[in-house]
Amino acid sequence: MYPSSPPLPDLPEGAYNPADQKDKEAFLSKRSSGNSEWTLKHARTQGSPFELKTGAVIPGIMISGINSDLPGQLIGQVSQNVYDTATGKYLLIPQGSRMIGVYDSRVVAGQSRVLVAWNRIIFQDGSSITLGSMTGADMAGYSGFSDHTDNHYFRTFGTAALMSIISGVGAYASDTFKSDTASNDKPSLQDELGSALSSELGKSSQRLLQQNLNVQPTLTIRPGYRFNMVVQKDIVFSSPYKPWR
């Protein structure tokens, strides 16, 4: 006889259980019962002659740096000429155009990348286009920028060591006053004040130092950092770039 299989754990009604074969059978039947029509419902549309399609990349270089301790604005510069997606013949964004954006300064423990969004491009002749929000990526295509991360390990572990010393000194002082009080039938006012002072001083110091243990990492991006701006919506120009003045 084969050993009986262990009972399945109790799960909420409708929850997926990977050990239940019924869920796998339902998955296959659901996929096989789909619409077998292979004709696309959307017709192919013609693109604009002066257009950057979704997925196009605009290479850039950082002019201003990033420090995640405080929020701020970004300034970058287009590092190469950008041409239309369809033919690659028409210049749409010239090299040297300024890029304006923002970054997210909210950083959690373990994070090493800064979330960046570019909002505007300013051309050399003073004209500009509004992008809405285009994601910034590194040269490998990963979302966000990654350069230098300071996890404040020295500050964190130094605080922990200092808290240990203060706790030890406070405990030693409190035990000393208690032993002096126990040897005397009637504790003196000096013994009581010393014991209370050492106890409260230790608690206050621990509360103050505890704040240094909850420090978010500092992410820094240096000026000169190279990146790519990924086009997330089609950008249509009325004509190729020509300086207006």
CATH code of the domain in which 133 resides: 2.40.128.260
Residues 91 and 114 in one domain: yes
Give a yes or no: residue 131 inside a domain. yes
User: Can you tell me the distance from the alpha carbon of 203 to that of 207, in angstroms, rounded to the nearest whole number?
Assistant: 6
User: Can you tell me the distance from the alpha carbon of 141 to that of 65, in angstroms, rounded to the nearest whole number?
Assistant: 20
Into how many domains does the chain fold?
2
Residues 70 and 101 in one domain: yes
Q: Which residue has the tokens 């041409």?
A: 83
Residues 97 and 175 in one domain: no
pLDDT at 1: 46
Query: What domain range includes position 93?
Result: 51-149+218-236
Residues 198 and 111 in one domain: no
Residues 129 and 224 in one domain: yes
pLDDT at 244: 77
Residues 145 and 94 in one domain: yes
99 exposed, middle or buried (CB, 10 Å; 0-12, 13-18, 19+)?
Answer: buried
Tally Cβ neighbours within 10 Å of residue 232: 15
Can you read off the two tokens belonging to residue 237? 């120009």
Give a yes or no: residue 241 inside a domain. no
Tens digit of pLDDT per residue, the chain (245 long)?
Answer: 445 545 545 555 555 555 566 666 776 666 655 566 666 677 777 778 899 999 999 999 999 999 988 888 999 999 999 999 988 899 999 999 999 999 988 888 778 899 999 999 999 989 999 988 898 999 988 989 988 888 766 666 666 666 666 666 666 666 665 565 555 555 555 555 556 666 666 666 666 666 666 678 889 999 999 999 999 889 999 899 988 77
Give a yes or no: residue 168 inside a domain. yes
Residues 187 and 173 in one domain: yes
Residues 208 and 123 in one domain: no
Give a yes or no: residue 33 inside a domain. no
222: nearest Cα among 79, 62, 105: 62
